[in-house]
Amino acid sequence: MRHPNVPESLDSWSILHRMLRLDRRRFDALDPAARAAIEAEAVAAFTALAGAPDGDLGVAQILGHKADLMLTHYAKSFDELSAAEMRVDKLALRDYLEPVTSYVSILELGLYEATGKIHAELRDRGLKPHSEEWTAAFDAALGEQAKNPRNAARLWAAIPQRRYVCFYPMDKKRGEAINWYLLPYEERAALMLDHGKIGRSFHGLVTQVISGSIGFDDWEWGVDLYADDPLVFKKLIYEMRFDEASARYAAFGPFYTGVQFAVAELPEFLRGERVPELRALEAAQPALR
């Protein structure tokens, strides 16, 4: 049943982030022919995953000690995510990649404002919350939100092809003194509206992907930021620190920041002789699947 105090969301891609560490010295020690064969096999598999009609794959070189490589998988279901994970794990390259951490989530569009409007409309129609009629009317209204062209485009967009990426998980605090989930719906909705205004002020400079992970992983949401200038991440996140929804109620996990590169550039990443590029040909992939 739909709870009147709970904001709804529209959900789409199942997402798996995988952070891995490359044993570069051991890989370098391989015979050149063996290295070439491993690279070719991995490029073929990654290309298939990135070009799948029902999924996508993003590849990024992570800066710092936390990891060397981040694979971001999009799929239509957890079963398909599992298949993608197994396909990567069967590659010869996996002998040189050590898993560091991972994150499971589902892409979501939060509907605080829309949910409030739907609830008000159903109240005006005299429908009793949780009744069969109320639930049917709510589901129909939510379906209309999914059909909205703007929402549909965001729900099933491919992984943004921008040079820099920043990923981090986050929670809303629910301690004894500060508890986001005990705030009245209207107050939470107003705080999220103000929070969203900051993100919209960076329109065109950053592409943001929010994924829900309650029940799937250790944090409640995963956040991916994509930009052509990494300084945008610092400016956006710093400005949001002063927003009440973040300053009072948000808790943040580890940050992973790096450079995205084309699948075809994977051998360059493995060889470590130059930073792999995000080629224009790769960046021209369709916006929708």
Q: Could you give the residue numbers annotated as active site?
A: 168
75-103 per-position pLDDT tens digit: 999 999 999 999 999 999 999 999 999 99
- Alpha carbons 5 and 227: distance in angstroms, whole number: 35
SS in 3 state form for 81-127?
HHHHHHHHHCCHHHHHEEEEEEEEEEEEEECHHHHHHHHHHHHHCCC
By the 8 A CB rule, do 107 and 11 touch? Answer: yes
Those residues with Cβ within 8 angstroms of residue 54's Cβ, 6 or more apart along the chain or in another chain = 75, 76, 80, 289
Mean model confidence pLDDT for the chain: 91
197-209 per-position pLDDT tens digit: 998 999 999 999 9
Residue 181, CA distances (Å) to 91, 218, 288 in order: 44, 17, 34
- Alpha carbons 146 and 242: distance in angstroms, whole number: 32
* pLDDT confidence of residue 2: 58
CATH class, 13-107+260-280 region: alpha beta
By the 8 A CB rule, do 207 and 156 touch? Answer: no
* pLDDT confidence of residue 286: 44
49-62 per-position pLDDT tens digit: 999 999 999 999 99
Domain ranges across the chain: 13-107+260-280
For the residues of 125-174, what is the DSSP string, one character each? TTPPTTSHHHHHHHHHHHHHHHHSHHHHHHHTBPPP--SEEEEEEEEE-B
pTM attached to this predicted model: 0.90
17-52 per-position pLDDT tens digit: 999 999 999 999 999 999 999 999 999 999 999 999
- For the chain, what percent of residues have pLDDT higher than 90? 75
- Among the residue ranges 1-15, 17-31, 134-148, 273-287, the one predicted with the least confidence is 273-287
What mean pLDDT is predicted for residues 147-171?
Answer: 92
What mean pLDDT is predicted for residues 247-275?
Answer: 97
By the 8 A CB rule, do 70 and 258 touch? Answer: yes
What Rg, from alpha-carbon coordinates, does the chain have? 21
